Every structure is written in structure tokens, then in C-alpha cells.
Amino acid sequence: MTLGAGVQWGEAYSAAHARHRLIVGGVSSALTAAFGFGVDNVLELKIVTADAKYLTVNDYTNRSLFWALRGGGGGSFGIVTSVTYRVHPNVPIVGSFVTANFSSPDIAQAVITEFISIQPKLTDNHWGGYSSFNNGGIQLLYIAPNVSLSTAQELINPFVDFVTNVTQRDVLSSSLPFDSFLDWMNFISGLGQLSEVGFIAEISSRLLPRDAALTRPAEIAKTLLSMPLGVGFNCVAGGASSQIDPDSVAFHPSWRNALATIAIAESWSENALVGEIRAAQQRLIDNTRILDTISTDSATYYNEATLHEVDFQKSFWGRHYPRLQEIKRQVDPTSLFIVPRGVRSEDWDANVNLKTIALQHLHNPRSPNESAFFSTILCLSSTSLVEGNNNCKCLYGQPCWPSSQAFDTLASQLSQPLLQPSPPALPCYTDPSGAECADVQANTVNGTWRSNIPGALQNLFFEDYIFPNNTISACYLNTTLGIPCEQGSIPPIGVDARSPEDIQAAVRFAKEHNLKVVVQNTGHDYLGRSTGRDSFMIWTHLMKDIEFHDAFVAEGGDGSEQYEAVTLGAGVQWIEAYTAVGARDRLIVGGISPDGSVGAAGGWVLGGGHSPFAGKYGLGVDNVLQFTLVKADGSHVISNAHTDPSLFWALRGGGGGTFGILTSVTYKIHPLVPLTGALASVNFTSPDNAQRAITEYIRLHGTLSDNQWGGYSFFNNFTLFFFYLAPNISVPEANATIGPLFNLLHEVGDTGLITDVVPFESFEASGAGFTSPGSGQVGNRPEISSRLLSRDTAVNKAEETARTLLSLDFVAVNFVAGGAVLRVDPESTGLNPAWRNTVAHIYIGESHEEGASAETVRATQQRLVDNTAILDTITTDSASYLNEASLHEVDFKKSFWGTHYDRLKQIKYEVDPTGLFVVPRGVSSEDWDENVVCRV
């Protein structure tokens, strides 16, 4: 029976039925076990190929193309105009229907285990059909071709009886005879079954091997019942189809050992936001990984699959793919016909159009400018045409994960054994009364202690992992919650880097195996950039070298610029840097944190690096003279104003974990100067008094900025606390500046208020480097959001700004800009140019308790989003400090980098074209899913 290209299966079934014949419809069908797949029934095709030839293709003419067309996918080898199928004599059909509800997960497990275990027997007897189930129930619609009603009942009724006995309730079931397959189809259609039209959804699938159903039915049932939305179980293989040579057609050879396809889905409303759609797609990806455990080769049905396969070539075609590629090259050398995830689509971008446009213009440019333009476009392609075709990174537990032998080879190249990070609280689960657990309990909120544990974070929220189904993998300190200790987001393996060579070996290994890489030093991180579930960690914490230079000249410089400087290894922390530099009677511009545990040569400076001394000496990025780093290609390079100045520009503000792995940073150091500290702690007697005080406090920042002050504060309607430092300013000078505000605080404050101006010989003497307000953030689960306060807003809109900020429960003001920061050219670094008009960084926060449900966490995050919208009203550009910010920004590119983002992204693709280094909300992360695992 020859069908034209536009004939639909309903028309084909009717036409065959009119001649008392049966045709096997679709590639997979409920009739497959009796008559083979659709491709097994094809006798001949007619096709227009890419060279506009009209060919007849069969077992005798164009045999290779005939092989490819039977399973190689649509839209790839040409345009089919007709297909000739084998038809079979009409046969009677028995249709069996079963519907049952489950009252508990245990009952669901028992029934689905039995259901899986009977599939081999059903397909051996040529049964096929469709079913769906979850923990709430099952519905199946199966057919048995060319058997009597009594024979069919003998096979299906034991299953019905089993379900009835287990569920202890009536099961709706029936077996009915039909004269033909078409009669059965019409009956099902009348019931409204088998409808898949009109929904917005994406699906994913896996083939169920026969041996898995025979030997592991309970395990498979448990896996499938873990799917949040249930599964579709299509019994469309086995029987006659398994008797055919797997290499006779291009169809995935795993089909010949399969019994069924198992499909899962995610959907969204037609007015869903892009973020909601991406979240649904990520849930599908995560659930596909779970589904993968039932198969040995991730084989799937090409026509009912996901665009987000880790290795679509393997999943869709297995070992047949190289031959399909070669046939594709022969019949369509210029790739006129390319479809997403089709044969040779890996050579193209996600929209399968970039290569055609760019190469055409590169080979035949109309002008030199056009050639340069399309060369740049190729460099920026989200799928590298040269260096890799994988759209997803390899994660622990996946088939692509390196073998133990591969890790042994890596270990032989390193100076230290490989790390196997575990959750810090694990000792309290293995030995609750032991010394290790006592150490955990005593030091959980100690930043230095946490920084010394590979994989541990200062902010515990990012050690947790929330699955798409809202279950949480975590290891809580509170063991009485009754929740098991799990790995969460902590990487399972890593490299303890002590030298650039260690990092180079790790980077080359990660690149070779396409691993998701995370870089960690101290674990100070509000965006989860230094961890990642199932990832490969490079830990730089113990690279502690410190070297001083009396007259440092940057590599490539002519010696005309020399600086007193210090070079800090990637693992040096600020407490160590302050101590070393202070011992030489010098000052370095650095960060402030509880016990000084923030890293001095990593994410702090790459994100900008604010400091209470920024007003006098500039931000951290303004004090950098040179970086050394390992890039994505494994090279160890120097970057400064003379050597690779473009990368030097990007590294100063473009963010951590993005352009490479720092091995050292060289900073200017400055002569020690005396300081004057100003301290205030006041409780307000009324909201009106709070408004008066905070208005003047904000307005004063213009003057304080001009005089190079800096420091930290927090306030709300009830209280104000600040501790500010004025470098090289005397006590009388400080009193003249801060005195009027102190007088107002005494007027509006309650009893017990403190205001004081204190001289210090040095920064170390002030103690500011080793403690700060809000130190309780370490060892807890906060999320924060921030905005930059411009000088113009502080001076000219102080009252309005105060009112807005006092409408929030708590506001912290980091007075870490202004002064010298404002005098630097905004275009001189990759930092958000808004910093050059900023006097302070304002942040707000929300937190949740350990053990909180995913719903509670989401509600906390939504409050943060809502309050950020309020905070936004004090800005004109939503600018934020990327190191102390929110994952939930409406437009993170604008908030973190403003007008610099496009140039940063271009540099990113120049130094890391395959995306080895990508972090949440980092440069180019919009090209990846929420977990920065798969390109979107």
C-alpha cells in the first residue's frame, strides 16, 4: 500500500480496512509485537534529495539511503513524497481495559511491580498497548491480535485478580472482542482516550529492556513511581520486532531488546513566564536522569523525546550514528536539511541556522567588515562548532562520568590525593557523641573553621539541594529532625590544588570529560557559585604563598610604573593578608568579615572587592596590578595592563568562576596611616524620630564620601548602629564632620544610646578587619539582595530614601564606595560602571531554619524578591554588588554589570568558548539552565 506524504494514519487505517487489510501505523505501534515496527514494514520510499533529484529507495536501489531512512529521523535526508508499506490480512482484536485506584504507595509499588513483571509474557504473545500510572492508580488499554476472547482473558485476568486482591476494592476491567484494529481504535477514540493534542508540554522517554523487566521489576516500579507526574507506559515493542536483525535498519538497535517506551512530561500554562518554562524543562531533565537508571544505554524513542538529552546521538541511534552521519554527508553534503537533534545537528547552533549563515559569509564576504562580523558571531555561538558538541555537562552518576581508572590517572598527576568532600555535619550522624561531632557543634558558625573543610560553605543554604519535586537533599546539624544526612549540593570529588600545575591537570581532566566544574576557596558565597551537585571541585584554599615587592613592575611593562606590592596566592585569606602586610607597616585594601576568613585572591576581587578603605584608595579592582590564572584551555597565563589587557579588564569585576581559575593576585600596598573611628548605637523613641535621624544619616554620606570615610551599619524603625573609619583624619576633624549627626541622635534617641569618636594607630588596632555587624550570617541559611546608593540620591533624595528603607524590616548599609572610587574612569574595568557614582551598598536579607520545607524556602525567596522591588525604587538602574546579591534578579546582567555586559560576554567566549567555567548568574549563564548544566 503506497501512501502519499500527506496521508494521515486515520486515512490509511480506513483505506486498508476497506480492503479487509491491516497496516502497521507509526514507527512504534500496539501491533508491533505481532507484525514488527513501522520501519520493518516499509518496502519502498520515494524522496527528493538535497540536490533536487527524485529517487526511488528500496532494498535494491539506493540501499544505504533506504537503511538510513528507516529510523534515521525526519527532515534529515530529504523530503519523502511517498512510502510503500506491507499490508496484512485483517485479524480480530481483543481489547482489554483495566482501571484501578491505589490507597497507598505500598499498594502502588506491589501492583506496578506485578505489571512490569508480566510484560515479557504479554509481548511474547503479541500483546501491545498503552497505559499510564502513578502512586494514585493505573489505567491500561491493551490489545491481543488474532486470539479468542477466552485466550486473552486467560492471560490478563490473573493480573486483574492480583490488583483486586491487593487494592481490596473493585477494579474496573473488561475484555471485549473487535472485528478489526480500526474498530478498536474507533472505540477508544469514542471514549476520549489517547488524546495528546492541545497541551503545552515537553516529554522525555526511555526504552524498557526485556531483561530489566524480567530481573528487576520491583526496582523499576519504584523508580517509575518516583516520577512526580506519573509515567506513560507504551507497550509497543517485543514479540516479532525482537526477532529482526538490529542492524538491518538505522533504528536504534536497543529497540530489538525493548518491550516498551516509558514517557514522562512537564507542562506549563500558555501565559507562563520564561523562567517558569525553564524551570519545567529543568524538572524534565532531572527526572530523565532518574529514569535513566532503568536503562543501560539511555536509549529513547526519537519521535517522543526531549531536546535536552545529555547525548542525543547515543540516546536516539546508539552505535548506528556514525553510519548515519556518513550517509548524511553523502546525500546532503551542504546540510540543506537539518533539524534540532537530528543527524549532524551537533555541527550547528541550537536553532540549526548559525553555521549556514556564518560560513556562507565567511567564504564569500561582501566586505572585510562583514567577514570580521561573522567571524565574531561564530566565536560567540553558544554551541562551539569546533571544540565540542555536548550540550550538557557530565555529572556524577551518569554513564559519561570518568571511571575510577581515569581518576587514578588524574591523581598520579597531582601533588595531593583527590578529595572526597562530605557534609560538615556528617560526624553527628555517624558518631553523635564523638569528638568530631562536638567540634562540628562548637564551630558551625566559625568562618575560619568552615573555610578549612573542602566543600563546606559559609552559607549553609547552598549546601542543600532542592529537587524539582520539592524534596530536599541536605545534612542538617539538628539530627533530631529525623532527616537523613545526604550530600546535597556538595561536590562528591575534587582536587586539593597546591600549585598552578595541580589546577592545570584538573582543568584538562575536566575539559576532557566535559565535567561541571566548581572552584572553591573559602566558601563565602551568596549565589551558590562555589558548589554544585554532582560536580567536580577544584579547591584552592591551601595555596597560601605571600610575596612582597619593593618595586613591582607588571609583566610586559617598561619599568616606568613601579609599585610597592604584595602577591597573594589563591588561598590566602584576608586575616592572613592583613597580618602579613601589617607586619611591614603597610595597609592593603581588603574585605571585612567575621574573623577575616574571606579569600583575598578569588571571588572577592573578581566581583569588585569593596572595603571600608575604598573611599581613600579605591575598590579592590582598582588596586590590582596583575593576575595569574589557569584558563579553560589549561594554560597558565599572566594578565595585566600590558599582557592580555582585555582579559585584565574583564577579571576586574566580571565575577568569579567565569574566566579562569586564579592562582595569584598582585595588589598595591599603602603606607600605614592613623585612623579615627566613629561609633553610634541608638534606639529610636518613635518612627517619626527614626525618619528624622535616618534622613540626616543618609544625607551626610555625601560629605563623608568626599572626606574618604567608610564602614558598616544597619538600621530599621527601632535602631541604628554604625562603625565608620576615617583614614588619616584627626579626632577634631572627625568630630566636626560627624558631630551634627550625633547631636541629632541624642535628641531623638532613647536612653542608653552610645556615640563616640575614637583614635586608632592603625587598621589592625581598630579591630574592624576581624568582625562586623551581621556576623550571624555564617553557619546559617540567609539569602540577600542589594542595591547601590548613588551619591546624588543620598544628597538630594535623603528623605525619600530614608522613608523607603524604613519600610523594610532590616537594612544594612555598607559604606564602601565614594571618594576615590568616584574618581576612577568607569570604563577602566569590567565592574558595573554604576559603582563610579556610588557612595554605599545597601542590602536586605531573608533566612529560613534548617529542615524547612521547599515551600517555606520558596516563600522566603518571594519575600526577598518583593522587598527588592521596594529597594529598587531608590535607584535608576537597579545596580547591585554581584558578590552580595540575589539569584532572583529580574535582569541580572543589567544589575550586576550594566553597560559592560556585552563586552564581558564577548571576552568570555574568547577565553572559554566551550563554557567550561559557568556559574549561576555569571557572565554567559543565561545560555544555560538553572543548574548551569545544559545549554538552553
Distance CA 422, CA 492 (A): 7
pLDDT (0 to 100) of residue 189: 72
Across the range 741-754, mean pLDDT stands at 92
Instruction: Assign 297 a pLDDT band (cuts: 50, 70, 90).
Output: confident
pLDDT digits (tens, 9 = 90+) for 241-283: 999 999 999 999 999 999 999 999 998 888 888 888 888 899 9
Instruction: Assign 376 a pLDDT band (cuts: 50, 70, 90).
Output: very low
* pLDDT of 344 above 70: yes
Across the range 431-443, mean pLDDT stands at 95
Long-range pairs for 791-797: beta carbons < 8 A, 24 or more residues apart: 791/701, 791/702, 791/705, 791/818, 791/822, 791/837, 791/838, 791/839, 792/837, 793/874, 793/875, 794/698, 794/699, 794/701, 794/702, 794/705, 794/839, 794/840, 795/699, 795/701, 795/702, 797/874
* pLDDT of 342 above 50: yes
* pLDDT of 512 above 80: yes
Instruction: Assign 143 a pLDDT band (cuts: 50, 70, 90).
Output: very high
CA 865 to chain centre: 20
pLDDT digits (tens, 9 = 90+) for 457-478: 999 999 999 998 889 999 999 9
Higher local confidence (pLDDT), 105 or 762: 105
Of 153-162, 206-215, 345-354, 914-923, give the lowest mean pLDDT range.
345-354
Across the range 202-226, mean pLDDT stands at 94
pLDDT (0 to 100) of residue 598: 95
pLDDT (0 to 100) of residue 215: 94
**Residues above pLDDT 90, as percent of the chain:** 82
Q: For the stretch 693-721, what's the b/e string if a residue is b when 16 or more beta carbons lie within 10 angstroms of its beta carbon?
A: bbbbbbbbbbbbbebbbbbbbbbbbebbb
pLDDT (0 to 100) of residue 348: 85
Please give the torsion angle defined by the CA atoms of residues 340, 344, 350 and 351, in that order, rounded to the nearest 10 degrees.
-60
Q: What burial class does residue 550 get, using C-beta atoms within 10 Å of its C-beta: 0-12 exposed, 13-18 middle, 19+ buried?
A: exposed
pLDDT (0 to 100) of residue 855: 94
pLDDT (0 to 100) of residue 168: 85
Three-state secondary structure string covering 354-369 = HHHHHHHHHHCCCCHH
pLDDT (0 to 100) of residue 627: 98
* pLDDT of 356 above 50: no
CA 749 to chain centre: 48
Ordered DSSP codes for 314-347: HHHHGGGHHHHHHHHHHH-TT-----TTSTTGGG
At residue 14, the 3 state secondary structure works out as helix
* pLDDT of 93 above 90: yes
Distance CA 157, CA 173 (A): 9
Of the CA atoms within 13 Å of residue 626, those in its CB half-sphere come to 23
The 10 Å Cβ neighbour count of residue 151 is: 12
Of 18-32, 627-641, 823-837, give the lowest mean pLDDT range.
18-32
Q: Where are the alpha helices (DSSP H) in 200-304?
A: 210-215, 217-225, 274-291
pLDDT (0 to 100) of residue 201: 85
Of 12-26, 73-87, 178-192, 451-465, give the lowest mean pLDDT range.
178-192
Across the range 57-79, mean pLDDT stands at 94
* pLDDT of 75 above 80: yes
Distance CA 351, CA 362 (A): 19
Across the range 331-352, mean pLDDT stands at 88
Distance CA 206, CA 294 (A): 8
* pLDDT of 765 above 90: no
Distance CA 864, CA 878 (A): 15
Instruction: Assign 561 a pLDDT band (cuts: 50, 70, 90).
Output: very high
Of the CA atoms within 13 Å of residue 23, those in its CB half-sphere come to 25
Record the pTM: 0.62
Of the CA atoms within 13 Å of residue 378, those in its CB half-sphere come to 18
Which residues are 176's β-sheet partners? 95
Distance CA 346, CA 309 (A): 12
362: left (phi over 0), alpha (psi -120 to 50) or beta: alpha
pLDDT (0 to 100) of residue 116: 96
* pLDDT of 211 above 90: yes
441 grid coordinates: 557543634
The 10 Å Cβ neighbour count of residue 2 is: 12
Across the range 354-368, mean pLDDT stands at 41
pLDDT (0 to 100) of residue 382: 32
Ordered DSSP codes for 644-710: SHHHHHHHTTS-TTSS-EEEEEEEE-EE---EEEEEEEEEBSSHHHHHHHHHHHHHTHHHHHHTT-E
453 grid coordinates: 573543610
Higher local confidence (pLDDT), 399 or 821: 821
Of 142-151, 362-371, 655-664, give the lowest mean pLDDT range.
362-371
* pLDDT of 349 above 90: no
Please provide the distance, in angstroms rounded to a whole number, between the alpha carbons at the two ends of the chain. Answer: 42
For residue 526, give the amino acid letter. Answer: Y
Average pLDDT, the chain: 91
pLDDT (0 to 100) of residue 762: 76
Q: Are 467 and 391 in contact (CB under 8 A)?
A: no
* pLDDT of 374 above 90: no
* pLDDT of 47 above 90: yes
pLDDT digits (tens, 9 = 90+) for 706-727: 999 999 999 999 999 999 999 9
The position carrying cell 573611599 is 615
Phi, psi of 667 (to 5 degrees): -115, 150
Helix/strand number for the chain, H first, E second? 31, 32
* pLDDT of 774 above 60: no
Higher local confidence (pLDDT), 902 or 354: 902
Distance CA 695, CA 793 (A): 11
* pLDDT of 450 above 80: yes
Q: Are 350 and 338 in contact (CB under 8 A)?
A: no
- State the maximum Cα–Cα separation within the chain, in Å, rounded to a whole number: 107
Q: By C-alpha distance, which of 447, 390, 24 is closest to 239?
A: 24
The 10 Å Cβ neighbour count of residue 463 is: 25
Instruction: Assign 389 a pLDDT band (cuts: 50, 70, 90).
Output: very low
* pLDDT of 385 above 80: no
For residue 133, give the amino acid letter. Answer: F
Contacts of 903 (CB under 8 A, 6+ apart): 649, 650, 830
The 10 Å Cβ neighbour count of residue 513 is: 17
Across the range 842-867, mean pLDDT stands at 95
* pLDDT of 358 above 60: no
* pLDDT of 839 above 90: yes
Instruction: Assign 92 a pLDDT band (cuts: 50, 70, 90).
Output: very high
pLDDT (0 to 100) of residue 219: 94
80 grid coordinates: 519523502
Distance CA 159, CA 163 (A): 6
pLDDT (0 to 100) of residue 821: 97
Across the range 785-811, mean pLDDT stands at 96
